[in-house]
A and B are shown apart, each in its own frame.
Chain A
Amino acid sequence: MHKRVTFRERWLALLLLAPQLAITLVFFIWPAGRALWQSVLLEDPFGLSTRFVWFDNFARLFADPLYLNALRVTLIFSAAVAASGIASALLLAVMADHVLRGAAIYKTLLIWPYAVAPAVAGLLWFFLFHPTVGILAWLLRQAGIEWNHKLDGGQALMLVIVAATWKQISYNFLFFLAGLQSIPRSLIEAAAIDGASPGQRFWKIVFPLLSPTTFFLIVVNVVYAFFDTFGIVHAVTEGGPGQDTTILVYKVFKDGFIALDLGGSAAQSVILLLIVSVLTVFQFRFIERRVQYA
């Protein structure tokens, strides 16, 4: 954690730290503290008076069917994004690890969606599924399925799940490929000599050895689905139709900025803060472990 040889100029150290600390305090710690404080206050609709209401805002949230619905939508959404993103990336990574020729080209062609902003990814898939001009909506119509994500909540949720997964596949793919390439060939060869079939080699050797990577990716994908997908939902569905694609992060935004329910929005922020802290602790346990054994 620390160097044996250090410099003595204390004032210089504080000066070097000052910009980072100042920004952290003003734009991170102070607003988070405000959110915490607002979450236990109730402001009257005219903003004339506030009073301290203990945990009423939280109690109100958990009695609110709309909030519980947002919670349900978020859980379905993040489970679907994490599961489909991880499964398809694992399949592609195993295949890319297997081929001898062209692996580098496949890699280049698979990783660039990482660079596309969530909101732009949402727009791309909105294009493909647009009821009038979308090629996929057209194909579905030929197959007898009427696609209109503006009317059908299930289809809208499907659309944001597809867009969110599409963007995340490249990230998962890179980590799985790195994980696969770090598995010693000798292990696989030994299993092959002992007569293990390709399927057995994968499920009994490769998959268990990849489990730290898989675990890490589950955490990262859930964090991504919870927080980074705001742009997709906001740009494409605005949480609708009805409340069918309103995820928690979108609801914080909507209740705070559009409905101006400060206490309720702050209480939601605090709950999200707790969720993200737990997930971050998980993630860092993983990194620390890797650093120690690396």
Chain B
Amino acid sequence: MVERRPIFDAIAHLTLILGVVVVGLPIWIVLVTSTQRMEDVLAAPIPMWFGDRALENYAAVLGVGVQGSHTGPVARMMLNSLIMALAIAIGKITISLLSAFAIVYFRFPGRMLAFWTIFLTLMLPVEVRILPTFEVVANLGLLNSYLGLTVPLIASATATFLFRQFFLTVPEELTEAARVDGAGPLRFLWSILIPLSRTSIAALFVILFIYGWNQYLWPLLVTTDERYQTIVMTMQRLVEATDAAPEFHHVAAVAMLAMLPPVLVVILMQRWFVKGLTDTEK
């Protein structure tokens, strides 16, 4: 057994507590600020404890929005973000499951070509090909629509690769047994493969929900209409709005709302989150 010295334990705890404080500091300040009056925020130094305006501030941003930021009510933006995150997560999982099934369980000409075509998308982050992708979406008339917000982000090499790896570990006997019992490919997929993939699906869902909710550049490009704005894409406008009117208490409330859903998902589904992260290495 390795020796345990109390001094090491103390140093370890101190370092970790310091780490937790540094990691938590920005959230604490912004959370506290979101409960203040404007005058109290502007009196330096900024308050370190809660004010009494939480309800008023959150109600104001959810229902009306931040003054001078050229954005609409936050409730609508959160709904759009939710739609986008769910559509991307569910869409990516569905089409990746289907294509991995096709690649692993069927033999057809061009199978490897299909695999590599999908695999290539892994190398093309949206930021790299924004201009031509934007042109395609504009030509298809998908600007300012939920389809335009989600469909171009739905192809997923990572998820396809992950399901492929998983399917390869499924015993051949299961397929044989299913065939002997007269199950066709779709029946096999639905009744055997998908139930077996449950944990992978849950883990992927957590990661992809966060990915979808946190999209920034893409919604910024394809939406000009307030009705389709997502909450994360308005961050730059909030920063700019503070130059015109110092509504820091409202900006802080929007920031809290922008991170609340994905942070809750990580904390509540921590086990799936850790699995998803290590599986996808993303």
Contacts and interface: CB of A to CB of B under 8 A. Distances in A.
| Contact residues of A: prevailing secondary structure | helix
- Give chain B's interface residue range (CB within 8 Å of chain A): 35 or more
A236 B236 CA distance: 6
Contacts of A207: none
Contact of A88 (B19, B135, B136): B19
A111 to B, nearest CB: 7
B217 interface: yes
Interface in B128-172: 128-133, 135-137, 151-152, 154-155, 160, 165, 168, 172
Interface string A252-294: 1100110000100110010011001100100100010001000
A125 interface: yes
Interface stretch (A41-49, A50-58, A69-77, A102-110): A102-110
Interface in A23-70: 23-32, 34-35, 38
B2 to A, nearest CB: 5
Contacts, number: 311
A21 B118 contact: yes
B46 A135 contact: yes
A274 B266 CA distance: 33
Interface string A124-144: 111110101111001100000
Contact of B259 (A102, A110, A115): A115
B266 A110 contact: no
A19 interface: yes
Contacts of A28: 120-121, 124, 129, 133, 155
A31 B129 contact: yes
A120 to B, nearest CB: 5
B6 interface: no
B12 A252 contact: no
B96 A20 contact: yes
Interface string B30-51: 1001000000011011101000
Contact of A280 (B122, B186, B255): B122
B252 interface: yes
A95 B124 contact: no
A111 B190 CA distance: 34
Given A135-B45, A174-B277, A7 B15 contact: no
A231 B46 contact: no
Interface string A155-175: 000000000001001110011
Contact of B172 (A5, A138, A291): A5
Nearest to A95: B12
Contacts of B216: 117-119, 230-231, 234-235
Given A112-B267, A117-B235, 4 more contacts: A13-B105, A17-B114, A31-B129, A115-B259
Interface of B: 1-3, 8-9, 11-13, 15-16, 19-20, 23-27, 29-30, 33, 41-42, 44-46, 48, 95-96, 98-99, 101-108, 111, 114, 117-118, 120-125, 127-133, 135-137, 151-152, 154-155, 160, 165, 168, 172, 175-176, 179, 184-186, 188, 210, 213-214, 216-217, 220-221, 232-233, 235-236, 238-239, 242, 246, 248, 251-252, 255, 258-259, 262-263, 265-267, 270, 273-274, 277-278, 281
